[in-house]
Structure 1
Amino acid sequence: MAGPGAQGHRAVPLLLLLLLGTQTVAKGPLVFVALVFRHGDRAPLASYPLDPHKEAAPTLWPRGLGQLTGEGVRQQLELGRFLRNRYQHFLSPEYWREEVYIRSTDFDRTLESALANLAGLYPEAAPGTPESSWRPIPVHTVPVTEDKLLRFPARSCPRYRELLREATEATEYQAALEGWTDFLIRLGNSTGLSLVGEPLRRAWKVLDTLICQKAHSLPLPAWASPDVLRTLTQISALDIGAHVGPPRAAEKAQLTGGILLDAILANFSRTQHLGLPLKMVMYSAHDSTLLALQGALGLYDGHTPPYAACLGFEFQRHRGDQDEEEGNVTISLFYRNDSSRPPLTLRLPGCPDPCTLGRFRQLTAPARPPAHGIPCHSLHEPAATPAATMVPLLAGAVAVLAALSMGLGLLAWRPSCPGAWGGPV
């Protein structure tokens, strides 16, 4: 699954269940923040056989295909400065390792994006800092094949393949695909790719290449008209919807974005329970990560997160008897997908803003892995043994910080499957 997301740092706002927010945090004393953001602008992931810029790719993209560009660095610096302004009274003015934890997928563009973001968030990591006072800030990652938190199951998860096949075999999906047959034939002739009967990700890669080239002022081939780009965007949205939407959207979420959502809630609970000084966890990832998380929250509206888009979870503590079991805690969600406007305030379906933590847990429970775990095995195949299906998942940052600060090793056990969800972008 993938989406274009190459519109620069501006995007069409979420259309459903949203209110325009502000850049101030005044709903209650902040106690914890989790941020998930997409990397910055990058080079195209691939080319296509008849791409007129194919031979010039090494010159056009000197750092390589899929790599962060100078514009991507600027976008992340700007996001980091926004976060410094938003949390200037919450975070310490200088980096403190017990206060902030940064996790990235193991890709150059997400690791570099995290570093650029931190350079905007903390003065001592900023470009131009005198050598004597410059302090790099650590970014943590795990190998791609071991990342069960920010990358999700697909080909290696039989149950997820079943769910995806059910979506792609649905009447509505097939009707839409049939309506695009002639278009895909023409596009195949123009690009040199076989597109009819192939996964829609192949058509998306053409769109990604064209949008990246357009964003960097490269001339597009004559056949790549606005109508063609629009149709490719619609095809991409159909593919995304099959991955995160109905049918069985909640079960899909349990194998994808619900895993990260569960870890965010677990990080907060354990931080509070152990009295850790951790205030913020930052995740540098991909549009597929954000789309899966939006799907788990019931907030996907058909638009792809642009570069440097950021989804934030803000936990506030209130006085009174709002939610005694959860310590009077509420969660507010914001989504920053346009650097020229204040971030959007998101409303979890069925809950006002801010949403009490107890109600938030209740509403998102169907999309999060249950305590006994969700196996990846097919319903039509024998279940694997527990040892084969149970894979340890590090719940974000708390396990590491607890081990470093208190000598405790906390491990959240959840079943998962190795492998990636169509490849991150």
Structure 2
Amino acid sequence: MNIWQFVVQVTVILNSFKCIQSFPDEDPEDTTGYVDDEGPEVTTGYVPVYDEYKKVLAQVLFRHGDRSPVHSYANDEYTEADWPQGYGQLSIKGMQQEYVLGAFLRERYTSCQGLTINEESCLKLLSEDYKRAEVYVRSTSYDRTLMSAYSVLSALFPPPFREQDTSSMGSAELFSVWQPIPVHTVPMEEDYLLGIGKCEMFNKLMNETLMNLTNPRMQEMLSEYSELFAHVAEHSGEPNSVKGMDKVLDPLFCEYVSQDTGKTLPSWVREDTDVLGQLLELRDMYAEFSVPGTFAYLKGGSLLKEMINHMIGKVNDTVAQRLFLYSAHDTTVIALLQTMGLFNYKAPPYTACILVELLEKDSDYFVQILYRNDSNSEPYVIEINDCGTKCPLQMFVDKYLPSLPENIVEACRGTGLNNVNEYVTNYVNENLSPVTVLNVILASVIVLTLISFLICYFFKETSGRSSAKYMPVPTEMSDLS
């Protein structure tokens, strides 16, 4: 057994004790005793409550804003020329939606809202002005997601606006009204983080899913909406099939949400309110089929792995950033939720976002996941299966990391998941800092020395007694070999 395997095994043992002790004694959501009942009545904003959990890292995945359809159907009265900028492009409304999201993120991460009752204990995560070392932004290589990222950033880090003479716009004064912030991307065929790259296995499994009419969920959908399928096929010019309906749903939905810009739904939808309602219901079912949970890890696993990597790195002081932003698509949001077993089977709306926050309390770390799918209300906290709403980091890692592919490219070629123990060893090699490794080794030596002392003491005390029974080394320790 090499030194890394030894370190990993001891680390797992030590962390198992830490996880057992990491659960708070009281409900973390219970604010009893922290509200200043004698203070003035709060009528605006958040109730000032001291939050024992400090945000140390936030990773936010969000969907782009309102857009034009990505295609039309056979009998669609609208062509690409009828949509500003063409198919699949972010609309003005979409830019506004993303700006609102950016303002929400600014309020959550650059202010002390809801965190304290005095200025001294402010626990804000980010600086109010853009700092390169604090933020990293990644987007898929689509116009609508890149533009969505820029729209979010324009509200998250607004420039210090002030009156300007237009004659100075060619000088450095320009940057008092404009704050450029870099957004990183990679070619679509190479993007396994937010897309699926060239993932033959995902495409193969998706085709099998859509063609498998014996699937209980598929049968349920086809049976419940059989009349709708026939009605849509008759008027749309598309086949009466799962793929035919898929070709129609997106254009109709875009026309539905764009009625304020003069677009109208076709009469065969408009004249029957049941048709529209069923189409919206069907969108939710198609969202479920878009990234099935059984192989969601091929699309969401790389992102979850990176998020875990960032959290471990933050704890080990090897990650400087405090905020990672990911601008992507509804299927990306679904994939991440499905990979964690947290999807609610509702189609994510425009600007839907998942907030994965790393919290610190008394030198222990917890993961909190929130989902914002309504711009008119606060995001709701998701309860992680068997781990609660504030999941100890080690438990979170142990829960998800072993099921994620070590090499997504190989997984997309059909190669199975690698051995879990080897994967954990590699993960530690890549992410533990030298100082942390030294601390682990020292702790291991101390633990082993203590165990040796206890064993020697035990044998000394029992050596003269023939009736004494041998006490084996605990199973967890004997597994070290």
Deviation at 1:303, TM superposition (A): 0.9
Residue equivalent to 2:145: 110
Distance 2:361 2:84 in 1: 51
Q: Does 1:186 align with 2:208?
A: no
How big is each residue's C-alpha offset from its partner over 1:9-52, in whole Å with a ceiling of 9 and x where there is no partner? xxxxxxxxxx9xx9799351111110001111111222223223
Specify every segment of 5 or more residues in structure 1 that has no aligned partner in the other structure, as ranges: 1-18, 321-327, 387-394, 400-425
Specify every segment of 5 or more residues in structure 2 that has no aligned partner in the other structure, as ranges: 1-28, 30-44, 111-123, 165-172, 419-426, 432-481
User: Is contact 1:336–1:344 with CA below 8 Å preserved after alignment?
Assistant: yes
Find the structure with the greater CA-based Rg: 2
Structure possessing the higher relative contact order (Cα contacts under 8 Å, 6 or more residues apart): 1
Q: Does 1:26 align with 2:54?
A: no
- Choose from 78, 92, 97 the match for 2:100: 78
Q: Does 1:330 align with 2:366?
A: yes
Q: 3-state DSSP class of the match of 2:85?
A: coil
Q: 3-state DSSP class of the match of 1:352?
A: coil
Q: Where do 1:341-380 residues align within 5 Å? A: 341-365=377-401, 367-369=403-405, 375-377=411-413
User: Is contact 1:255–1:374 with CA below 8 Å preserved after alignment?
Assistant: no
Deviation at 1:267, TM superposition (A): 1.7
Deviation at 1:272, TM superposition (A): 3.7
Deviation at 1:65, TM superposition (A): 1.6
Residue equivalent to 1:255: 298
Distance 1:345 1:29 in 2: 16
Cα distance change, pair 42–161 in 1 and its aligned pair in 2 (3 A): closer
How big is each residue's C-alpha offset from its partner over 1:112-134, in whole Å with a ceiling of 9 and x where there is no partner? 11001000011228899862423
Sequence identity of aligned pairs in percent? 30
User: Higher helix proportion, which one?
Assistant: 2
The worse-fitting range, judged by mean Cα deviation, of 170-179 and 305-314 is 170-179
Q: Where do 1:59-78 residues align within 5 Å? A: 60-78=82-100
Distance 1:101 1:301 in 2: 28
How big is each residue's C-alpha offset from its partner over 1:62-95, in whole Å with a ceiling of 9 and x where there is no partner? 2212111111111111111111111112111211
Q: Does 1:339 align with 2:375?
A: yes
Cα distance change, pair 359–132 in 1 and its aligned pair in 2 (3 A): closer
Q: 3-state DSSP class of the match of 1:257?
A: helix
How big is each residue's C-alpha offset from its partner over 1:325-347, in whole Å with a ceiling of 9 and x where there is no partner? xxx11011111111111111111
- Choose from 193, 196, 199 the match for 1:152: 196
User: Is contact 1:47–1:209 with CA below 8 Å preserved after alignment?
Assistant: no
For residue 87 of structure 1, what is the amino acid of its counterpart? Y
Residue equivalent to 1:292: 335
**TM-score with structure 1 length normalisation?**
0.73
Distance 2:198 2:212 in 1: 14
Q: 3-state DSSP class of the match of 2:357?
A: strand
User: Is contact 2:65–2:350 with CA below 8 Å preserved after alignment?
Assistant: yes
Cα distance change, pair 237–337 in 1 and its aligned pair in 2 (3 A): closer
Residue-pair matches, total: 352
Q: Does 1:96 align with 2:121?
A: no
Residue equivalent to 1:323: none
Deviation at 1:271, TM superposition (A): 3.8
The worse-fitting range, judged by mean Cα deviation, of 211-220 and 104-113 is 211-220
Distance 2:175 2:309 in 1: 39
User: Is contact 1:350–1:363 with CA below 8 Å preserved after alignment?
Assistant: no
Residue equivalent to 1:36: 61
User: Is contact 1:77–1:119 with CA below 8 Å preserved after alignment?
Assistant: yes
Deviation at 1:135, TM superposition (A): 2.6
**TM-score with structure 2 length normalisation?**
0.65
